[in-house]
Structure 1
């Protein structure tokens, strides 16, 4: 007999300063994971190439099982405010922000890579942790990313 599938989460929370991703259901933590962020993690993403992970409330809006990383779930950055801010600055807001596992072929190195911030602004997990997130998060699901 197989174990019952845990219920899907209704919110994903990311605490950038604690390098932690929380899967929430009805206000309670279902799972928590250590994460790596963009190489320049302090502050909200302002433009393409700044290596910052966005902050604020977005939607996890689609999954990609065939990405360049072990699974990925897209974050709906940039929103209208992000786009308007970048336009005022005369820059591209960037995009393609994802929650993902390790770069394909490099999963065995996650014990090392997850010790520092290495993405271009995405939220990275070990492949084992990403599989759990993949299994528990349905799209669309809100995500809150805090400093």
Structure 2
């Protein structure tokens, strides 16, 4: 098989489009912030408003604006659709060496997401994260508010706060 310009372009596009968890960066892990306030008991994400709230019960502890996938309207259904999921998920992983500074993963895809995509012979995708911009995201983020492959992008400083505040198992509700 011959490696040509088209293959190189596709490879570059795939690496830029991927969200934060799949590959560690070569940069050293950042210094971690500490959080000693009330625990976050849920995360409410309002895609249409581009607003995320970290809550303890009904009390908003912190709120952030964010960028979405490059096709922000509608729920994620298939790998590569550029959409961000909608529905209930859970915090399930943390990556201190994300390409996008830090990243916090949610449990997408769930069994329903996988079953929906499978009925069309497609993959639901994976690796949906809250992440920073990092060096790779900086090129796209200033020009496009919604630049990820389906993740929620914060500033590097904001993802440091979110990373410190969240724990595995915290529910994340993503609304349209």
After TM superposition, the score normalised by the length of structure 2 is: 0.76
Which of 31, 34, 43 is equivalent to 1:12? 43
- Stretches of 4+ aligned residues off by more than 3 angstroms: 104-110
The structure carrying a bigger strand percent of its residues is 1
Which of 79, 83, 87 is equivalent to 1:56? 87
Aligned to 1:38: 69
SS of residue paired to 1:59: strand
Show CA shifts across 1:89-145 (max 9, x none).
Answer: 1111000100000133666996x25x6100000001001111111111111211000
Aligned to 1:101: 132
For structure 2, list consecutive stretches of 5 or more residues without a partner in the other structure. 1-34
Which of 100, 107, 111 is equivalent to 1:80? 111
Q: How has the CA–CA distance of structure 1 residues 80 and 105 changed in structure 2, closer, same or farther, with 3 Å as cutoff?
A: closer
Aligned residues: 143
Aligned mates of 1:108, 1:33 — CA distance in 2? 21
Aligned to 1:127: 156
After TM superposition, the score normalised by the length of structure 1 is: 0.90
For the aligned residues, what is the CA RMSD?
2.0
- Structure with the greater alpha carbon radius of gyration: 2
Deviation for aligned residue 1:7:
1.9
